[in-house]
A and B are shown apart, each in its own frame.
Chain A
Amino acid sequence: MALVPTAQPILELRGVQKSFDRGTGVPLRVLEDINLDIRPNEVICLIGPSGCGKSTIMRIFAGLIEPTQGQVRYRGRKQTGLNSNVAIVFQGFALYPWMTVEANVENVLIAKGLDRAEIRELTNKAIRMVGLEGFEEAYPRELSGGMKQRVGMARALSVNPEILFMDEPFSQVDALTAEGLRAEILDIWDDRDRNPSSILMVSHDIKEVAYMADRIVVLSANPGRIRTIVENTLPRPRDTRSPDFIRLVDQLHDIITSAELPDIQVTTVEPSVEADIVEPLPGAQNADMLGLLELLETLGGTCDLFQVVAHTHVAFEKVLTTVKGLEMLELVDTPKRSVELTPLGRRFVQGGMDERKLIWRDQLMELKLFRVVQEMLELREGSLAREELIQEIASRLPMEDPELTFETIVAWGRFGELFAYRKERGILTFE
């Protein structure tokens, strides 16, 4: 049997679990049993809804965060502390505003303890690589988002990392520029004679991962788990309009939506029977939910989920959260990949403000969590402290962020005129 030396992964996570102590006594579990490797010469992308821990996985790989359980291995050996063979490109650029483009790059080379001449040479090389010649003396604030991220890329590439880590690198860059940068970074990676050998990228953009990745790791949330890993064998350079590419994007969409919006409905049967289950609330905003209902109404009551994204220019994740919220209130249904108004949803959009509030209130009271809040309020004679409710939420929904859930309860409850909340006093009351 032949031993292929390159088959050995560069970095591995074995049985990694991560919890954060939130100070509430109930640790928040963000990652559960993660086994993942980064192989030589590959682009691997992590994608999933917010709260799936994709950035945390990247930080554990980099050694910025220690796992609560499990192991990180670099070339087969246990890794402790920072891995000096990786460099990170940050979502928010993380450039030092008081340093010029050149100084931002030089700064990380100084940290490597190189001498003056080497620093100059490597800085120039990195700046050339990302096409920033002529901008050496510019300050980050004078640059556009795309140019700033070029500086972030130059800084990361200057230290010649074996693996380049990119944390949603193009989410703050305009779409057209991002397209160019993706192709450029793949060109740099494609050169087999030099680093980076591999790229690990976190993304929330399905098209982006289909374009970039050899392997796509789809994560699910609460706690973060690997749902599936999709091999992407489309030849490079990839044409985003080719039928194969579109098929892959569709397949990824289906995987993600089937995980986030399962077709099998439990709540529609007999609300009173399984009424004791407290379901986590999606952090959907009232305005977004109302907006989506109006949009559906103008589109004749139904729309493909991705058409919604295209129509509204709102991030996929946010649309998903909004749809989840509406589905919970039984105002929309989600057969396969489409969203459609339920008869109740239709009555809601067509109704006046009073009718809307009435329907909303009735639907809220179908949710166990809102009944719990109401019972607590009655018990406290109409004046419930924020801390007490947050404690209750934390104990009933240990996987959720209790403060976010609290905010959603307040926002939804306000719209239905169920509760009022005075922020300065931190007291929830009946409306």
Chain B
Amino acid sequence: MAIPGDLKEAATSFRLSPWQRFKALYLPATFPYLVTGWVTAAGGAWNASIVAEYYDFHGETLKTFGLGSTVSQAAYERNLTLLAAGVLLMSAIVVVFNRLVWKPAYHLAHTRYSLTK
């Protein structure tokens, strides 16, 4: 959906500066789409970082300290208790993040930043 022409015309006629126009119009108007983009990107990025924390390369293991490497190592060493704890913690982080960040963000996108309501 495009930004309504009269909102842009109002910005022009009241001489909003380019920065103010961005802050007052373009950023809020695109917020709902930005949230969707952030959610998708954040999920992808976390997946990638988990994989990257523990990596087998030509028989050599490259690893760093972190939840991803702990889980990968536990799986590799068949340490089921540690593996379960790691996966549980991961799930908990996802749930908490959804509740505290994405859900309120989506709510805002559908209420305050909606151009149709």
Residues of chain A whose beta carbon lies under 8 Å from any beta carbon of chain B: 62, 64, 82, 84, 87-88, 90-94, 96-99, 107-108, 110-112, 139, 141, 155, 159
Contact = CB atoms under 8 A, between A and B. Distances in A.
B7 A94 contact: yes
Contacts of B113: 97-98
Contacts of A110: 20
A26 to B, nearest CB: 24
A94 B24 contact: no
Contacts of A93: 6
B24 A96 contact: yes
Interface in B80-117: 112-115, 117
B16 A82 contact: no
Contact of B6 (A62, A82, A87, A92): A92
A62 B25 CA distance: 21
A141 B112 CA distance: 9
Q: Sorted from nearest, which 6 A-B pairs have the closest CB atoms?
A: A94-B10, A94-B6, A108-B14, A98-B28, A111-B16, A98-B112
Given A96-B7, A96-B24, A64 B112 contact: no
A88 B13 contact: yes
A422 to B, nearest CB: 27
Given A96-B28, A141-B117, A84 B7 contact: no
Contacts of A112: 15
A228 B51 CA distance: 77
Contacts of B20: 107, 110-111
Nearest to A88: B13
Contacts of B17: 111
Interface string B1-39: 000101101101111110010001100100100000000
Nearest to A112: B15
A90 B5 CA distance: 11
Nearest to A90: B6
Contacts of A97: 112-115, 117
A99 B24 contact: yes
Given A90-B6, A90-B9, A94-B7, A107 B112 contact: no
Nearest to A81: B15
A96 B25 contact: yes
Contacts of A139: 112
Contacts of A98: 28, 31, 112-113
A82 B13 contact: yes
